[in-house]
Structure formats: structure tokens, C-alpha cells
Amino acid sequence: MAAKELDVKGLHCPLPILRTRALLDKMAEGEEVIVYATDPASIIDFKHFCNTTDNVLLAHETRGEVFVYHIRRGVSVA
């Protein structure tokens, strides 16, 4: 199954996390989402989000001014 994509470019904290959480809430365990963000603070936010939920931050990278996060839906979203 292909990963879903979520574009939250131009949004600032807490909106990228809130939109990601809302999408993950609708996804099945094990499904993946790729999030595209431009908020520099999103690096800290997404690491913290995944560390405090059952979701897994599989990878993150920077493409120019865009931060890309690969997240796998965990067993439950806190």
C-alpha cells in the first residue's frame, strides 16, 4: 500500500502536528504518511510527537526549504 501524503507547507506550530494527528486517526495500524512541512520547528515537533505516541518516525529529510517526514501509524494515537 502506498503511503498517504500530507502537505502542511506554510503552516506553523501546532497546525502541522494537528493535521498529521487528524489524518493518522483515520488510518489503520501500520499505514504510512509522508508529511511535507516548511516550519523549521517541525523537526522538534515531529520527533516529540512520535516519541509521545505509538507512531513511528521512520525517516526525515530536508529538501531545500521543505522538511519531509515519513511516519508509520502505531497501535494507538494518544
Q: Which residues are catalytic?
A: 13
Q: What are phi and psi of 48, to 5 degrees?
A: -65, -45
Which residues are CB-contacts of 48 (< 8 A; sequence separation ≥ 6)?
Answer: none
Alpha helices in the chain (DSSP H): 15-25, 42-51
